[in-house]
Amino acid sequence: FLKTGGEAIAACIRIARSYTGKDHVVQVGYNGWLNSLAAGGPVLPRQAGTSFDSGIPKCLSDLHHSCKWNDMEGIKKVYEEVNGNLAAIVIAADYAEMDKGVTYYKEVREFADKKDVVLIYDEIVTGFRIALGGVQEYFNVKPDLAVFSKGIANGMPISVYAGKKEVMKKCDKGNGVVISSTFGGETLSLAAAKAAITAYRKYNVIDHIRNQGKKLWESLNEIFEKHNMPIQVKGLWPCPAFTVKDGAPANTISSFLSLAYKNGVSLYNVSYVNYSHKDKDIDETLQRLEKACKEF
Ligand SMILES: Cc1ncc(COP(=O)(O)O)c(C=O)c1O
């Protein structure tokens, strides 16, 4: 256990390097600021970083590579470029294009098996939301290591790095990898995780957020259509993302999000419904968002 998502991903990368004896890492999506090392990789979610002024030494950045979601060819190209010296592939899903996971995860799994690369899933958003067991349960393709955080303790600060015994064994005393943190064993968050997981099971929370998400986002897409808004919500209903239609100005989503906020709804590029959102909340949210569309 650790405290933040980024440090748990960093832990997995270290374990993967030790386990494979290899150096390079391919990252798909945002994996936390500690791991924003690839030139052109996302420094913040959905924002491509640059290699200038980043405070990251080139020799470190050279070991990290950024590939787009569902771009298997990109991963193969990096593998060739580094002459097979690839320790890990770390994947955080593209929430708007999650459906591609059906084929993508299988392809990456097969490739990682063939080339002895450790496959790491960043389940920081998807864990305890898409399914209790995240994308690995939803798409039924298992990684070697995985990280969970945000949802596991309903917002209390905790992250988890977990994985196959033979890979995790690298962390056993005397086996090479040292990962240590003062607050890693803090018990309040552990108790919260236990309570949250019990409640998720007892109250079918995943079904609730799937159903309420469907109600909210499908209706919002209808409202967008009705008002000729160049925006669409795409992805799986527990954690979809706002996307713009071709040709729309770059600030379309941020303008809409500002108007939504002005009307009392605080949204982000990827927005979530939660267990506390009941039907009347969804109705009120839709009314407020329709007002935002009229003001757009
Ligand atoms: C997919 C994903 N990975 C990693 C992180 C980083 O987690 P933390 O901010 O706890 O380091 C985030 C945080 O937003 C995230 O969404």
* 53, pLDDT greater than 80: no
What share of the chain in percent tops pLDDT 70?
Answer: 99
**CA–CA gap between residue 87 and residue 84 (Å, rounded):** 9
Regarding whether 29 and 115 lie in a shared domain, the answer is yes
Burial 228-249 (b: 16+ CB within 10 A, else e): ebbbbbbbbbbbbbbbbeeeee
- Which of 27, 30, 158 maximizes ligand 1 atoms within 8 Å of its Cβ, making it the mutation to test the pocket? 30
Does residue 51 surpass a pLDDT of 70? no
Domain of 70 in residue numbering reads as 5-200
Q: Which tokens hold the place of 137?
A: 């349960």
Q: Are residues 157 and 285 in the same domain?
A: no
Do 55 and 176 sit in the same domain of this protein?
Answer: yes
Residues in the ligand 1 pocket, defined by CB under 6 Å: 4-6, 30-32, 45, 92, 122, 124-125, 149
Average pLDDT, the chain: 96
Nearest ligand 1 atom, CA 29: 1
**pLDDT beyond 90 at 228:** yes
What's the CA-to-centroid distance between 30 and ligand 1, angstroms? 7
Q: How far is the CA of 158 from the centre of ligand 1 (A)?
A: 12
274 Cβ contact list (under 8 Å, min separation 6): 209
For the chain, what percent of residues have pLDDT higher than 90? Answer: 90
Q: CATH number, domain at 117?
A: 3.40.640.10
Q: Is 149 found in the same domain as 56?
A: yes
pLDDT digits (tens, 9 = 90+) for 4-29: 999 999 999 999 999 999 999 999 99
User: Is 216 in the same domain as 179?
Assistant: no
Are residue 182 and residue 245 in the same domain, yes or no? Answer: no
Give the model's pLDDT for residue 91. 98
**Mean local confidence (pLDDT), 262-280:** 96
**Which numbered atom of ligand 1 lies nearest the CA of 34?**
11
Q: In this structure, are 17 and 142 located in the same domain?
A: yes
Number of domains in the chain: 2
124 C-alpha to ligand 1 centroid (Å): 6
Over residues 170-189, mean pLDDT = 93
Counting ligand 1 atoms within 8 A of each CB, the residue from 124, 128, 152, 269 with the most, and so the one to mutate, is 124
Report the pLDDT averaged over residues 152-172: 96
Best residue among 149, 159, 239 to mutate for probing ligand 1's pocket (most ligand atoms within 8 Å of CB) is 149
pLDDT of residue 43: 86
Q: Are residues 166 and 239 in the same domain?
A: no
Residue 99 shares a structural domain with residue 131: yes
Residue 55's pLDDT is what?
86
* Domain boundary residue, one of 200, 218, 243: 200
Same domain? 248 vs 231: yes
Q: Point out the domain boundary residue: 200, 235, 267.
A: 200
Q: What is the mean pLDDT of residues 72-81?
A: 98
Residues 247 and 127 in one domain: no
> How much is the average pLDDT of 46-51?
77
User: Among residues 200, 234, 252, which one ends one of the domains?
Assistant: 200
